[in-house]
A and B are shown apart, each in its own frame.
Chain A
Amino acid sequence: MYSKIATRNMRRSVRDYSIYFVTLVFGVCMFYAFNSITQQQTVMEMSEVQNRMLELLSILIGGVSVFIAVILGFLVVYANRYLIRRRKREFAIYLTLGMKRRDVSWIIVLETAIVGLLSLLIGLALGYLLSQALLYVTAALFNVKMDMFTFFFSLEAAYKTILCFALIFLISLVFNVISISRCKLIDLLNAERKSEQVTLRNLPLSIVLFIISIGLIIAAYYLLFDNGLLMLDQEFAASTILVCIGTLLFFYSLSGIMLLVGRKRERFYLKNLNMFITRQLSSKANSAWISISLVCLTLFLALTSTCGGFSLVTVFNDSLERSTYYDASITMHYSNIDEPTKGESASVANGEGQTSDSTRSHQLIADPTEIEAAADDHDMQTALNRMVPNWSSLVETTAQMDYYHSPVTWSDLFAMTDYQLTGLLAQADADSIDLSMVKVSQLNELRALTGKEPILLGNDQFLVWCDFEELKGFWHAFLTQNDSIELFGTSLSPVGTELDTTLGQTATSTMDTGVLVVPDEVIPDNLQIDYSLLNVMFSGERADIDPLFNEAISSTFGDFSMRRDVSWPATYMVTAEGIYEQSTGLTAVISYLAIYIGVILLIACAAILALQQLTEAADNIRRYELLTQIGTDRKLLSNALARQIGVYFMLPLTIALCHSIVATIVLQDVIHMFGHLDITWPLVITIALALVIYGGYFLMTCYSSRSLVFNQRR
């Protein structure tokens, strides 16, 4: 009997439920699909690096899922409260007919169970499809061969999804039942008849608060620009708090401002249904300012994290092709790796991420490593050829570059120009770090490796070699403003203002901040080498040789990442393939997270706005009826409805966009450090995502409320 009532109710209020239902299905679908990613390695053959990346992704998604579950839980409870409120009168009639409260609650329980079960089933089915799609995406990203018809269903993710949503439904059920059993019959009966009392905010107060809110938001922006997202310190905290308070105040005072501005512009206000729309919106903003603010801040989070995530991915992948020209790069550091480094900022400016204490260069003379190296005349190729099996058959050509400490420090250089560094570079503590220098003959060898002509350098000339995008401006300024520099008693003049941009080594991004290239004879014979780099080109296809080469190297030297001592002739090695694997793994991790967080948050926001506007339309049926009665065009009316919903959707989005743009600009400066950033692609994806989800919900709301308002009549 009760289940009959429940199912019949469901069918009748399909319109009310449709948006809620769609949202639930989406939520379940996303939740399952992204949690299933962690199980993908069960059906894919992956390398160790890829496996590690997937593990990292699992941990991150596990953490994020808790956050997502809380958001979805909040959404479900909120939606249910709205839907119950819509039907208070219906429940009141049950009660007046003599049904027990327990029975009415039972009806609600059944309804929740039906909706929950259906959405779980459909959501899981869609989630299965999505996870299958994600499987192919991962396979493509990781370049893993996989059977097209691999069946992939993650029981673990399914359990997790069911458990999580069952809990959410249970919580919302408790809320529903409490709200029904607490209600007085008289309130239930009169729930629909209660005419809205327009409580207007004090107008002068609204204006003052509005101005304050704008001020707070601008102050927050300023603090964020100043902070530059470099340190999560008090300034950052202050900016966050200010922007939150500013947003809340903004929406609190908005209803008054909206009316004020609307009424001031008489030509706008007294046209068509504009004053009706303005009043409706203002009264809605008046009562729902808290949820609008929360939606706005959540949207901001969604947009920024999605855009930021994709920006990172773009940067990684953009510079990758250029920065991995050499098949492998082997490093020989003559100093102990365990020695304390100078901290993050110093290593950025130094480029190689290694300390270079000038006082150390002479202490290493008696070092056994140095003696070994000297025996091979510091030639890595000779040593490797002797020690590594099959070296000569695997390697086609090599070029070695020895880096020396120059007597010039970065602070000397900065003093020689009026160029102002910006962003992160300006804050780097570069004072005591000295510039590296190399011999021009070695640079020419490296240039030969990349197919470039050798450079001819006169006895009194030098060249700057820099492949780091951000510092090119500085070097140009330096070369145009200075005629010469002094090195070991020789005065050298720059050969033109052009930089040499030959890639220094294979890495995740180009990192050489600047090296002086000098005639070979300028460097004293007894000067200690800081470190050497051997760039290697394989004798065949990269993909074929790389595994063999890796095996040969590791059979000789073991795992570099585990070693802490210095030994001739290799202390570290990267291969292009390894970097690609790592980078695609990172791409997958960040993209998945960005989409997961972005989509769920967008859905949650849009669903809340949609439900609010739907209930608004339902509450307003009488008003629309009246407007029709006094002869308002149906076209005008549905137009007004769409505009009302449109403005309501746009309000939080606009402010969220403002916040996001500022945050993205700041983020962009940070991301720039990792390479050249073309923001177009991340922006397009973010906007497309927002447009599809937000726009989709907007259209759904328009359609639903239109049929709600117009079909009620006749």
Chain B
Amino acid sequence: MTTVLECQSIEKYYGSKSTVTKALDNISFSVDKGEFVGIMGASGSGKTTLLNCISTIDSVTAGRILVNGVDITQLKSSKLSEFRRNELGFIFQDFNLLDTLTGFENIALALTITKVPAMMINSQVQKVANQLQISDVLDKFPYQMSGGQKQRTAAARALITDPSLILADEPTGALDSKSARMLLESMEKMNAQNDATILMVTHDSFAASYCHRILFLRDGKIFNEVVRGDMSRKDFFERIIDVISFLGGSNSDVL
């Protein structure tokens, strides 16, 4: 197995010298190709900061982040966008589709900015759309779609460039449970069929139960790691609930 992502003791401090807040405190982990990894934790535990650092939207204070062996913390700002568009795919909580573009165009956008020849775009978009069951909404605008359709369109946009790593930030956060289930199944399919590597931040235990492995963050540190292994999803889900109750003492701010 090749390692796609490797975080080596990354730290992120906020604030001035006298009042330092450690958002990320010496975090190290790695993700192999084809893995579906979840990151869980309460609000303020550093999940989103971690994701932002990996996606180069934010920078780390110390430590190294290697993607396919390249240290992205050392990349020049001119190389950053190139890295993002070639190596990463994004799925956001609030979909972040361009509301002036149709579904097709939103997905195609990821290809056009990587300068894929125009004649190849149509077939690629159709293929991904088929896979994510959104072929019938390709001509619709985001405001004409349901939440689930929007998020699957966003997923298709993330998947279509065949990135090394797909970063999903609370993808089910704005979805009802049925849409959430459909999306997660799609992501599972992306993972299984396309061998896509996915790193998903969530605080929904149900969503997390689709992952292979879950990292639990607390106060900027990795607190626990749970591997699904051969467990059924139901068992894995219960395992997650256990950790969460242990982690927070109370589920209230996690679930």
For the complex, is B30 an interface residue (Cβ under 8 Å from A)? Answer: no
For the complex, is A240 an interface residue (Cβ under 8 Å from B)? Answer: no
Decide: B81 and A626 in contact? CB cutoff 8 A: no
The bracket for how many chain B residues form the interface is 20 to 34
Decide: A275 and B109 in contact? CB cutoff 8 A: yes
State in angstroms the CA–CA spacing of A631 and B99 once bound together.
18
Decide: B101 and A276 in contact? CB cutoff 8 A: yes
Decide: B113 and A273 in contact? CB cutoff 8 A: yes
State in angstroms the CA–CA spacing of A621 and B98 once bound together.
12
B163-195 Cβ-contact flags toward A at 8 Å (1 or 0):
000000000000000000000000000000000
Minimal beta-carbon separation of A274 from chain B (angstroms): 7
Known A-B contacts A276-B101, A279-B100; A629 and B109 likewise in contact (beta carbons under 8 Å): no
Decide: B105 and A633 in contact? CB cutoff 8 A: no
Chain B residue with Cβ nearest A263: B105
State in angstroms the CA–CA spacing of A626 and B85 once bound together.
12
Minimal beta-carbon separation of B121 from chain A (angstroms): 5
Known A-B contacts A196-B100, A623-B98, A629-B96; A634 and B115 likewise in contact (beta carbons under 8 Å): no
What chain A residues lie within 8 Å of B71 (beta carbons)? none
What chain A residues lie within 8 Å of B143 (beta carbons)? 195, 197-198
Minimal beta-carbon separation of B141 from chain A (angstroms): 5
What chain B residues lie within 8 Å of A668 (beta carbons)? none
Decide: B100 and A630 in contact? CB cutoff 8 A: no
What chain A residues lie within 8 Å of B109 (beta carbons)? 273, 275-276, 627, 630
Decide: B113 and A636 in contact? CB cutoff 8 A: yes
Q: In terms of DSSP, what is the predominant structure of the interface of chain B?
A: helix
Decide: B57 and A275 in contact? CB cutoff 8 A: no
What chain B residues lie within 8 Å of A198 (beta carbons)? 99-100, 141, 143
State in angstroms the CA–CA spacing of A627 and B96 once bound together.
10
For the complex, is B1 an interface residue (Cβ under 8 Å from A)? Answer: no
State in angstroms the CA–CA spacing of A631 and B113 once bound together.
8
Decide: A275 and B82 in contact? CB cutoff 8 A: no
Minimal beta-carbon separation of B51 from chain A (angstroms): 12
Contacting residue for B98 out of A268, A270, A272, A626, CB 8 A: A626
Chain A positions 307-321 with a Cβ under 8 Å from a chain B Cβ: none
Contacting residue for B157 out of A268, A283, A630, A636, CB 8 A: A630
Known A-B contacts A198-B141, A266-B118, A267-B119; A630 and B113 likewise in contact (beta carbons under 8 Å): yes
Chain B positions 112-142 with a Cβ under 8 Å from a chain A Cβ: 112-115, 118-119, 121-122, 141
State in angstroms the CA–CA spacing of A271 and B105 once bound together.
11
A246-282 Cβ-contact flags toward B at 8 Å (1 or 0):
0000000000000000000011111111111001100
State in angstroms the CA–CA spacing of A628 and B96 once bound together.
12
What chain B residues lie within 8 Å of A279 (beta carbons)? 98, 100-101, 105
Decide: B110 and A633 in contact? CB cutoff 8 A: no
What chain A residues lie within 8 Å of B96 (beta carbons)? 626, 629
What chain A residues lie within 8 Å of B198 (beta carbons)? none
Known A-B contacts A270-B108, A270-B118; A630 and B101 likewise in contact (beta carbons under 8 Å): no
For the complex, is A632 an interface residue (Cβ under 8 Å from B)? Answer: yes
State in angstroms the CA–CA spacing of A653 and B107 once bound together.
34
Contacting residue for B81 out of A195, A270, A283, A631, CB 8 A: A631
State in angstroms the CA–CA spacing of A40 and B195 once bound together.
83
For the complex, is B48 an interface residue (Cβ under 8 Å from A)? Answer: no
B68-105 Cβ-contact flags toward A at 8 Å (1 or 0):
00000000001001111110101000001011110001
Minimal beta-carbon separation of A191 from chain B (angstroms): 16
State in angstroms the CA–CA spacing of A282 and B83 once bound together.
31
Q: Which of A266, A273, A630, A636 has the most CB of B within 10 A?
A: A630
State in angstroms the CA–CA spacing of A283 and B111 once bound together.
23
What chain A residues lie within 8 Å of B78 (beta carbons)? 634
Known A-B contacts A195-B99, A629-B57, A629-B90; A272 and B83 likewise in contact (beta carbons under 8 Å): no
What chain B residues lie within 8 Å of A196 (beta carbons)? 99-100
State in angstroms the CA–CA spacing of A269 and B118 once bound together.
8
What chain A residues lie within 8 Å of B100 (beta carbons)? 196, 198, 276, 279-280, 283, 623
Chain A residue with Cβ nearest B55: A629
What chain A residues lie within 8 Å of B112 (beta carbons)? 270-275
State in angstroms the CA–CA spacing of A270 and B110 once bound together.
10
Minimal beta-carbon separation of A634 from chain B (angstroms): 6
Decide: B113 and A632 in contact? CB cutoff 8 A: yes
Chain A residue with Cβ nearest B142: A195
Contacting residue for A275 out of B55, B81, B101, CB 8 A: B101
Q: Which of B86, B111, B121, B157 has the most CB of A within 10 A?
A: B121
Decide: B118 and A267 in contact? CB cutoff 8 A: yes
Decide: B118 and A634 in contact? CB cutoff 8 A: no
Minimal beta-carbon separation of A21 from chain B (angstroms): 30
Chain B positions 37-87 with a Cβ under 8 Å from a chain A Cβ: 55, 57, 78, 81-86
Chain B residue with Cβ nearest A266: B118
Chain A residue with Cβ nearest B157: A630
Further 6 A-B residue pairs, CB within 8 A, beyond A269-B118, A628-B81? A198-B100, A271-B115, A275-B108, A629-B96, A631-B81, A633-B85
Instruction: Mark A residues whose CB is within 8 Å of B.
Output: 195-198, 266-276, 279-280, 283, 623, 626-634, 636
Could you name 22 residue pairs across A and B whose Cβ atoms are closer than 8 Å? A195-B99, A196-B99, A197-B143, A198-B141, A268-B118, A270-B121, A271-B115, A271-B118, A273-B112, A274-B112, A276-B98, A279-B101, A627-B109, A629-B55, A629-B90, A630-B113, A631-B82, A631-B83, A631-B84, A633-B113, A634-B78, A634-B81
